[in-house]
Structure 1
């Protein structure tokens, strides 16, 4: 039998060979955004929330290059950055001994900022994206063997800063691509409609590393957004516990971005103040929101087993009730009221999603909703100055694409960079 040292050497050589083989071709992955169906704000106070995968996706292509550099291109925000391989190699020792169970240290973050980018504003989207990439690249390289010279292009259908999980989709795509490139996880071969998924244990590893990328960007993320981007479907989140719902349908929605900026921290603090001031009034409202989340979970499972018109009517009622509750706790906004009014004029039902105070709203569409009604609602919402998409919730999580499975606009963007 082989000695331990020889076995490790062979394993390392095999892993390095796998990385070279992986990077002999381009790999393209995508991950979904997220929306909160029910439970926003109540979840901060120990109640249940339902987070859903949004079928607006972030796409990442990683490809080999022979110029001795590591480059990342982010056309959505007009940013391209590159580093010399030798420059990154000098930092590998600072990241040795790390794994997905350890949070980024202040010392590591300081080192990353020194080489991160020429961007002056530390909290800028471009700078945070660069730091998250460098952290994952260096940590994964130090753990599994350095990733060769590569070029990465990331493009997203998700608006940045709208509370739709754009940073989590980015981190999940980076983790999946880098782990595959260095041979830490396999390149899934079983394809369904030219799209492949990793097995459960490898998805778990992707999710753990993606959470570290989210920590670089957000400091103290809940872990919900990256879990949704990894697993897809619908997740229940309560008191720090995340549970993937096993049977969920895909639901059509309109997603509307009011483009009204807001501070999540301020809105959360405002709800807390109301609870302290009026506990006898506010606590029953939070309990009712919790009951809505639980009822919605039951209805989704029922739809997955036996689709019926009656279940969609219940979902619409739950949306209406929850929207009223969210106004009661103080996280509504006139722009969100406008979305609800405009869609109600077309017989549709809407609620805010996320922090509120502006931001985004979702509108449920029944399977039999007339496309002409949907288009009329979209036009009216656009006339209000809002950005609107028809999409779906309950989408698949991180996956590997073949070129034939990609939308033409995605292929066009990758071909230009």
Structure 2
């Protein structure tokens, strides 16, 4: 099988508003981060399939003949079956990588997702290739790193298999796929997320595919086509947390104090709706300081609500205090209980303030990046369009 080498990327995600409330039927707004995962796929003639994941110190190779045995007795799948995992293939792969018991480590999950999509798309005609992936996203921080990885895998392998064309035309540096192709990429990325997480919502891979902002309500994911690009600070407190435990904690509070907590959930829902309205206004009329004033107030109100729900943490309080001392407004993003927070930067915020704030947060023991939200989803790149540092890392393998 002949195919061209490819270079793709997909963004991470943050929850702007609605975390935890979304579990109880309220709206959540998820946004793309301008921190991306990059994947380089290279055709080879070695008779081997290799995957290189330097972020998690994983470097694996298999003979094509060895992998072909895993596809025996497997039938091709129809387009409408893509959303359902091939349970038999998953079982064989888990045995193959020695991951038959309980929870999987990051290496095993990433390997399973790759092999599943690769074998499912190519089936009997397995090509020799090397996949190298490097990410700007920290793993396990609730920023959609696994989804960005799955989206990149789906896009690159779908192109290599001929299921979708490359969107890059001559002289293009960066290009995106059409809506129909994006839907197929998203479907296969969701398969990867099911391999990794078991029962994902589909929000993370949808953000990685479409980018921008998505509204999530009762299982329905609606991409919003027009959103402004907003500058933020993204802070990782590096405090580990269990999403499952935090979701259960909120549920217990609601059951114990329904008359108190249900209005809080309604208020968070109204925050998401108001924020969406303001962001849409910012794309259709001149952006004013008042737009940013409202966004900052919504951030403050939502952070207080999240503390009321019981998902705050002293490190997140520190984040809010440190940034407020510089006139900036922050909230947690994701599950809470530690994890990550976002800080809105106004257009007029001076560089010296940004850099001083980043240093203050690093002095607290946190990791902090200046980035943006609302950027594009999965993209195909020419090597000229990718940062030299990223390309240098990918070209080592």
The question of a shared fold, defined as TM-score above 0.5 by the shorter chain, is answered with: yes
Shorter-chain TM-score: which interval? Answer: over 0.9
Give the C-alpha shift of residue 52 in structure 1: 0.2
Alignment of 1:393 with 2:373, yes or no, is yes
Q: How does 1:9-408 map to 2 (within 5 A)?
A: 20=2, 22-23=3-4, 26-99=5-78, 101-116=82-97, 123-142=104-123, 146-190=125-169, 194-306=173-285, 307-408=287-388
Give the C-alpha shift of residue 146 in structure 1: 3.0
What SS does the corresponding residue of 2:121 show, helix, strand or coil? helix
Give the C-alpha shift of residue 94 in structure 1: 4.5
**Partners of 2:316 and 2:390 in 1: how far apart?**
31
Deviations 1:88-112, CA, capped at 9 Å, x for gaps = 1122234423355342244322200
**Partners of 1:266 and 1:314 in 2: how far apart?**
32
**Partners of 1:269 and 1:159 in 2: how far apart?**
25
Alignment of 1:412 with 2:392, yes or no, is yes
What SS does the corresponding residue of 2:395 show, helix, strand or coil? helix
Aligned residues: 394
**Partners of 1:121 and 1:221 in 2: how far apart?**
17
Q: Please tell me whether the aligned partners of residues 31 and 230 of structure 1 are also in contact (alpha carbons under 8 angstroms).
A: yes
What SS does the corresponding residue of 2:85 show, helix, strand or coil? coil
What SS does the corresponding residue of 2:72 show, helix, strand or coil? helix
**Partners of 1:388 and 1:259 in 2: how far apart?**
10
**Partners of 1:118 and 1:268 in 2: how far apart?**
27
Give the C-alpha shift of residue 152 in structure 1: 0.4
Give the C-alpha shift of residue 391 in structure 1: 0.2
Give the C-alpha shift of residue 192 in structure 1: 8.9
**Partners of 1:227 and 1:380 in 2: how far apart?**
34
TM, length-normalised to structure 2: 0.96
In structure 2, do the counterparts of structure 1 residues 314 and 192 end up closer, same or farther at CA, with 3 Å as the change threshold? farther
**Partners of 1:191 and 1:313 in 2: how far apart?**
44
**Partners of 1:222 and 1:191 in 2: how far apart?**
37
What SS does the corresponding residue of 1:169 show, helix, strand or coil? helix
TM, length-normalised to structure 1: 0.92
Match of 1:12 in 2: none
**Partners of 2:307 and 2:247 in 1: how far apart?**
13
What SS does the corresponding residue of 1:50 show, helix, strand or coil? strand
